[in-house]
Every structure is written in C-alpha cells, then in structure tokens.
Amino acid sequence: MKYVIRAALALMTSVATSALAAEPIKIGLITTQTTPAAVIGRDVEDAVKLSIEHAGGIAAGRPISLIVEDDALKPDVGRQKTEKLIRQDKVDFLTGYIWSNVLLASRKSALDSGTVLISTNAAPSDMAGKLCNGNFYTMRGQNDVMPMALGEELNKRDVKAVYTMAPNYAAGQDVVKGLLATFKGKVAGQDFTKWGDDPQLDFSAEFSKVAASGADALFAFYPGRAAAFMTQFDQSGLKGKVKLYTVYTLDQIALPTLQKSNTVGALGSVLTDYWYPDLDNPENKRFVTDFRQKYGRDPSNYAAAAYDAIQLIKSAAEKLNGDFSNKAALRQALEAADFKSVRGRLVFGKNHMPLDNFYALEVVNGKDGKWEMGSPRLVLERGQDPYAADCKMAAAN
C-alpha cells in the first residue's frame, strides 16, 4: 500500500511539473513607444528581446512570453497598462518603467496585486525608503546615487560653484538633491523646468542666468531631450566658460545625433554612470557585440539595465525550478541575483536598490572618429542611497 501511495504521489508530482513546464513565464514590459522619448523606450525593448534571445527563449524549461505596453510618457496611461497586464494578461513579472512619475502612479496597483515589479530604470526616493516593498526591485541605483558620484567628481576637480538645471518631476528633484548631498562648493543657482508630454524645451532664459551666475560648472539632467538641450547650450556661448556635467542625459542614444549635427558642446563634458560599453567583462562584451550586430547601434545604459532584468528573472526561475508559488522563496532567489551581470556583479541593498560602482566618463572623439564615453575612472564604489535607512521592507504577498 505504501508503495502504491508513493507511486501515486510521484505521478501527481510529475504531471504537475509537466503542466507547469508547459506554461509560459509571462513578463509584462511597460516602456515608451511614442513621443520623442521613444528613443529610450526602443533601447529598453530591444535589450529585453535580446536578453530573452540569449536565454534561448526559456527559463527553467518554461517558455518566456513578453507582452509590451506603451506608457505614452503619461502616468495615468502607465497605470492603466499596468492594471491591464495584471488583470487581463496575468503576468508573472512586471518590468520596464523608465520614468519615476509613471512608476509612482503604477506602484500601488502592481504591488497590491502581489506581482513582482522590476524597474529597469526609475528608482524614486520614496520607493527606496518608506515605500520599499519585498516585491519591488530596480536594476539601476536609486535616482540620487549617480549624481552623488558626480558631486564627488566635481570635488576632485575643485569646482567652486555649480548651477543646476533639471525638469520639475520626481527624478529631477532627486538627482539635484543627490548632487548637492556630496558637492562641497557653492550653489550659484537652480532651475526646475516644466516636464511631461509638453515639456519646456526653450532654455535661453535659464542659460542667460547661468552666464550671469558666476558658476564655473553647469549640472544638467534632461533624459531623452539631450538634442534640444545641447543645441541651445552650443548657441549660448557658455562652452569654454562653464564646464558641463550631466547624468542620464548624454549617452549612446544621444551622442550619434549630436555628432551628426556637429553639436560640439557635448565634447569634453563629464558624466557619471554605473555602466559603459567598454566595461571589461565577458557578459558585457557579448551583450554589446550582439546588440550592435542585431540593431546597428550601440546600446545605452538603459539597455544594459533592461538586459540584466531578464537575466535576473531567469536566475530566479532556475533556482525555483520555474515554480513561483512560494513568494518568500522567490524573493530570496531574486535578492541573490545569482547571474553574471553586464556590470560585472549585481548586488542589491536592503531596499532592493543596486549597490553599483560608478565611473566618471568624458565625452571624447574616439579613435574611429565616433563620439564616445572615454577616460573611465572609478569615483564611487558600491554606492548606497541615503533612503535605505527608512526602508522597513514590506513582506512579499
């Protein structure tokens, strides 16, 4: 009788395992496919698809199914698409979320449902601190940390006074706060400009104030709007008088357009980042080589983070044999980040924000005549955001 029971249980387990293996792992991707900011959304989507391809289209024997939705750069649209992915498509994971305001609008719907949300970019301060959650992870450091690294670079360069320009939304406020948390010099002036689907793109008044401020450095944050910003910076006459420093602005998406238009103000500007195309590890070399071959362009830092998101999901699936029913086990598997990242090694902090290394990079004319990020130098090791202390991690549902 015991043998019969064991055999029956083994058969039931085998049938259940076979049924699970036939079910796809559904991943919902919220990105931006319309508006001028779609250039970033395209990089995210292309990197996710390449990462799935590199995974062989499967994780723990289960096929990976990707469902892509456009947030149209609008928080309410992002929330609606998030709810659609949860209720109608019944996804196992949500990922994407380039913009902090879209993520904040979608946060409650996603996390209240118990769905794991892995942001490929947005990392607002609230979600690093008091709103942290066991089901929320980001693939890029919290918004403040990259500019914190840049503040340290300004100190090394003995910058005396900085003028800051950023759009007036959550990430814009965070990055300025991050810069000023580490910068030891004087703030010569600040401007927060209109953002959203109808952003302010005329910066002439702000540049006039920069010129009159006495600042020796200008800090700018304009993701997806580098062409408009840099064209006017060139025309302002500030280059050579005020050194330009940026985060999330000059990248592999923006530089080809700026070089084509000969917007030389970009050359010599300095930024910080956790990743750059020449970062020397086998996974990054494969990612960059195959991305260039498949899409005919360099990947951006947005793409690098999106690529890692799929590899994180795959690593957790394989630890759990494709079974996500135990939420505590799933959380532990994700926290372990047991895969080889394009950044070298991904380490999560207590609030599920990465503790990355950040490098100072300068925009240069490369050996092949292509504008690129050069002269990398480590300026912040395993950067920790200032909000982790406020994180009382809510358990995964």
Most distant CA pair in the chain, distance: 91
- Which amino acid would we find at residue 274? Y
pLDDT in tens, 91-110: 999 999 999 999 999 999 99
* Predicted local distance difference test score (pLDDT) of residue 15: 47
Residue 367 has pLDDT above 50, yes or no: yes
> How would residue 223 be classed by pLDDT, with cut points 50, 70 and 90?
confident
pLDDT in tens, 312-333: 999 999 999 999 999 999 999 9
Percent of the chain with pLDDT over 70: 94
Distances (CA, A) of 127 to 143, 303, 335, 353, 385: 10, 22, 16, 9, 11
Q: What is the CA radius of gyration of the chain?
A: 22
Looking at domain 145-273+357-380, its CATH architecture is 3-Layer(aba) Sandwich (3.40)
User: How far is residue 147's CA from residue 125's CA, in Å, rounded to a whole number?
Assistant: 13
Percent of the chain with pLDDT over 90: 87
Strands (E) across the chain are located at: 25-31, 58-59, 62-70, 93-96, 116-119, 136-138, 161-167, 186-193, 217-220, 243-246, 270-273, 358-365, 371-380
Cβ atoms of 37 and 224 within 8 Å: the answer is yes
Phi/psi for 220 (5° steps) reads -135, 145
Q: How many CA atoms lie within 13 A of 213 on its CB side?
A: 26
Which range (28-32, 91-95, 206-210, 391-395) has the least confidence? Answer: 391-395
* Predicted local distance difference test score (pLDDT) of residue 126: 92
The predicted model gives 222-234 an average pLDDT of 91
Total-model pTM: 0.89
The predicted model gives 182-196 an average pLDDT of 95
Cβ atoms of 119 and 97 within 8 Å: the answer is yes
Q: Which helix (H) or strand (E) holds 180?
A: helix 170-182
Cα dihedral 161→363→343→273 (10° resolution) = 20
User: How far is residue 351's CA from residue 105's CA, in Å, rounded to a whole number?
Assistant: 19
Where does the chain hold its CATH 3.40.50.2300 domain(s)?
2-141+280-355, 145-273+357-380
For tokens 């709810």, the residue is 83
The fold of 2-141+280-355 is Rossmann fold (3.40.50)
State the average pLDDT for the chain. Answer: 93
User: How far is residue 129's CA from residue 151's CA, in Å, rounded to a whole number?
Assistant: 22
